[in-house]
């Protein structure tokens, strides 16, 4: 089972170079003792708010906090996948109630991708177009499916990948928390091996950084360095949207961390012991004496 200190994670978010507000929200809840591990595990999330002005920022922050609170409160639920879906749905209801109470007709919604780790399993809940990736042994794979208009058109064969890159409605998402009573929240479950990495991110990263570049960065760097490098990479390439990255590593593979190589250093030969030296010296003297006796015998015989 996963133990305290076995999960290493780093979270970072950046406003980018274009937006005035950071409508992304990143959060985690990590256990404080073995009982907490059993009850709640490790919880991480990225939420990308929708609505403009402060509405998106409020939506992502509020829904993220409520999701974690609902998950922890429902620790009696044995099915953690169901528990995660229920927590996200409850956060959706809370967000819609908040909008109704504000009564200002503002549209408040948010994407959300969440990873909950229990022992060697990870439960991933997703709504919207923020993403979760799985890295293992130099290979990266997208776990979640983008719930966006362009992704749907691409899946149906209505447009090509090249057309998807420049589609005028590229940012239209089909589902989000706060947008409807029961949004389509998808659940994914994976079994982890030591050294595996889970990457959560908003679309501010994926619009500027390719899967290949993510793969290379995760394979070379520790979670903290990888998260910061990916964020800076997206920012340096235009930072057109808010950028959020969460890198989670499950243990270490064969005693190695990300980017480390196991090195076996040659050991110096052990110095001969004092007793071994005495035996060698005695043997040398014996041979020397035999040689002297043989020489003396030859001299006397002559």
- What pairs with residue 177 in β-bridges? 110
**Residues in the chain, overall count:** 302
Phi, psi of 277 (to 5 degrees): -60, -40
Number of other residues whose CB lies within 10 A of the CB of residue 243:
30
Distance CA 25, CA 13 (A): 8
Say which CATH topology domain 7-250 has: Phosphatase 2c; domain 1 (3.60.40)
Q: Which residues have a Cβ under 8 Å from the Cβ of 292 and sit 6 or more positions away?
A: none
- Asked if 180 contacts 206 with a C-beta cutoff of 8 angstroms, the reply is no
Say which residue the tokens 């003792």 belong to: 33
pLDDT at 162: 74
**Which pLDDT score, from 0 to 100, does residue 148 have?**
81
pLDDT of residue 52: 63
Q: What is the pLDDT of residue 274?
A: 41
Distance CA 114, CA 60 (A): 12
Give the residues of the chain that fall short of pLDDT 50.
255-279, 281
What DSSP designation does 129 have? S
Q: Rounded to whole angstroms, what are the CA distances from 277 to 60, 125, 282, 287?
A: 76, 70, 9, 16
């Amino acid at each position: 089972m996963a133990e305290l200190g076995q999960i290493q994670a780093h979270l970072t978010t950046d406003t980018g170079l274009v937006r005035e507000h950071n409508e992304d929200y990143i959060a985690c809840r990590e256990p404080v003792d073995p009982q907490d591990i059993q009850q709640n595990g490790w919880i991480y999330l990225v939420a990308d708010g929708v609505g403009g002005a402060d509405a998106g920022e409020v939506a992502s922050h509020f829904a993220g906090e409520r999701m974690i609170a609902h998950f922890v409160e429902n620790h009696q639920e044995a099915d953690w996948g169901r528990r995660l879906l229920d927590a996200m749905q409850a956060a959706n209801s809370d967000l819609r109630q908040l909008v109704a109470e504000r009564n200002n007709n503002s549209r408040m919604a948010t994407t959300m991708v969440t990873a909950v780790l229990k022992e060697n399993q990870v439960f991933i809940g997703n709504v919207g177009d923020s993403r979760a990736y799985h890295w293992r042994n130099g290979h990266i794979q997208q776990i979640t499916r983008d719930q966006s208009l362009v992704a749907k058109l691409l899946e149906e064969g209505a447009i090509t990948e090249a057309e998807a890159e420049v589609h005028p409605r590229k940012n239209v998402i089909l589902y989000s928390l706060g947008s409807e009573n029961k949004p389509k929240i998808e659940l994914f479950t994976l079994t982890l091996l030591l050294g595996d990495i889970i990457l959560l991110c908003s679309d501010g990263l994926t619009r500027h950084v390719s899967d290949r570049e993510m793969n290379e960065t995760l394979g070379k760097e520790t979670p903290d360095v990888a998260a910061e490098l990916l964020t800076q990479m997206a920012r340096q390439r235009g930072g057109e949207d808010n950028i959020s990255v969460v890198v989670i590593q499950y243990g270490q593979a064969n005693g190695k961390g990300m980017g480390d190589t196991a090195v076996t250093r040659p050991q110096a030969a052990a110095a001969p012991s004092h007793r071994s030296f005495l035996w060698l010296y005695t043997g040398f003297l014996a041979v020397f004496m035999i040689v002297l006796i043989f020489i003396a015998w030859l001299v006397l015989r002559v």
